[in-house]
Chain A
């Protein structure tokens, strides 16, 4: 279903998740079922920046891949704007953790950004206008003709971001996109993502295991319990105004409160 049709059907791009499961048959014992995630309940409003926070291996990427439509659910309800999610759609775009495996190395920066538009059959001149806008937005102006291999890790993630934004999706799904970057580049990227989100009004689901990153970006933070059979154990509202001050007292207090979830 197209984005407009989906929006018309619901009037919103809210995400509704109820008692969602992903399980697989245990290889060792017959009849036994293992859950990666179990009974996840979550409602995300249109335009919200939601962070999924949890330790590695807790199933947050699995949940994100299910929302993306890459992984099918085993049970429960998963809807976007009252329409069931069963496959990838143009209303959702994914920014992957590894730019090297998700960008197309045989295409230039501009060609990567225009990929989705070209697949839709948009004329070349029009594609140029769109790609220029988003390449500029992510701060890559002047690098249009470079190939991904000529770019740094941070710049590659900028290409990924521009590539998905060019298709104007309602929802951005981001799977630890800054996890592989050095600390300084990560800070810059976080600030820029935050301002792009405020500028574009997209719904964002952002997966991370970095508490500070979660606090810097998210309006709400969902804590995922350690797997297997993990679910969202707690949701925090982050009431601070953007752009956020990581040195403030409240920021530190919330940081400590959330940290307590993971100290065992």
Chain B
């Protein structure tokens, strides 16, 4: 209990110190270069009062969630197949290692041409950002399944299909989970890039558009919103993982007291 108390006190002091440094810098350079906490708060109130901030956060979150969920759903079976079938792996691995080094942002123009200016192109981009991370993690998980487990199942009469379903997938679950959690991070990066270049709504659009009015305080609001969105979703995903997948050995950083 004492440790917990002192942890919160320390956190509070750290945040307060951060705010003081921020305010000092704002005073030193002026609100146009670095808007202070008060200016940022006023900017946030402005954006909240006409509902645009909430709408932007909602639309960005919606794009990330749809693309990420679809990408994960497609990537998991692909990763399982590539991991399980060495004949496919031989061909797929070099390709995966080639394409995963092409960042999603690099595809924005092409995706706009291919999928149009609407939501599809953004969701496709998130899907792409998610796909390879989840495939790579799932694949690694399949390869890491101990041979003894598979042998044990086989000698107890399990068919190859049963081994996949009852041994490989459960054993790979922690890797899959890590993959989709990491993919959430790259999805946010991808969506901000996409919204900066080709969108009329979203947090990325807000950050990019604010430059036209030289509203650095709005940019700060956008950055803080992004941090909060990422933090909250990551904690939620982590919590869900710990609650639902605990028996598979899914552990995630979070407020676990050791």
Interface residues of A (CB under 8 A from B): 68-70, 88-90, 92-94, 96, 98, 101-107, 115-116, 118-120, 147, 163-164, 167
Contact = CB atoms under 8 A, between A and B. Distances in A.
A147 B247 contact: yes
Interface stretch (B25-33, B148-156, B178-186): B148-156
Most B CB contacts (10 A, CB to CB) among A93, A101, A167 go to A101
Contacts of A104: 149, 167, 170-171
A35 B72 CA distance: 47
Given A101-B146, A102-B146, A106-B249, A115 B166 contact: yes
Nearest to A167: B156
8 contacts: A90-B156, A96-B152, A98-B148, A101-B149, A102-B149, A116-B157, A118-B166, A167-B157
Nearest to A97: B148
B200 interface: no
B214 interface: no
B135 to A, nearest CB: 22
B156 A106 contact: no
A119 B157 contact: yes
B148 A101 contact: yes
A94 B153 CA distance: 10
A102 B171 CA distance: 11
DSSP majority for the B interface? helix
B162 interface: yes
B157 A90 contact: yes
Contacts of B155: 68-70, 88-90, 92-94
B152 A102 contact: yes
A102 B167 CA distance: 11
A142 B156 CA distance: 24
A104 B162 CA distance: 14
B247 A88 contact: no
A119 B149 contact: no
A105 B154 CA distance: 17
B62 interface: no
Nearest to A147: B247
B152 A94 contact: yes
B247 to A, nearest CB: 5
A102 B170 CA distance: 14
Interface in B155-171: 155-159, 162, 166-167, 170-171
B151 A106 contact: no
A119 B154 CA distance: 10
B231 interface: no
Contacts of B154: 70, 88
Given A101-B149, A115-B156, 10 more contacts: A88-B154, A89-B155, A93-B156, A96-B152, A98-B148, A104-B167, A119-B166, A120-B157, A147-B247, A163-B152
B248 interface: yes
Contacts, number: 69
A76 to B, nearest CB: 22
B160 to A, nearest CB: 12
A94 B167 CA distance: 17
Contacts of A105: 247-249
Given A101-B146, A106-B170, A106-B249, A119 B158 contact: yes
Contacts of A164: 156
A115 B147 CA distance: 17
A88 B152 CA distance: 10
A64 to B, nearest CB: 11
A89 to B, nearest CB: 8
A177 to B, nearest CB: 12
A26 B173 CA distance: 38
Which of B154, B156, B166, B171 has its CB near the most chain A CB atoms (within 10 A)? B156
A69 B155 CA distance: 9
Instruction: Identify the 5 closest CB pairs spanning chains A and B, nearest first.
Output: A116-B156, A102-B148, A101-B146, A88-B155, A101-B148
B248 A106 contact: yes
Contacts of A93: 155-156
Given A101-B146, A102-B146, A106-B248, A70 B151 contact: yes
Contacts of A96: 148, 151-152
B148 A163 contact: no
Nearest to A115: B156
Interface string B115-159: 000000000000000000000000000000011110111111111
Nearest to A92: B155
A68 B162 CA distance: 19
Contacts of B157: 90, 116, 119-120, 167
Contacts of A120: 157
A129 B64 CA distance: 49
A120 B147 CA distance: 21
B148, B155, B173: which has the most chain A beta carbons within 10 Å? B155
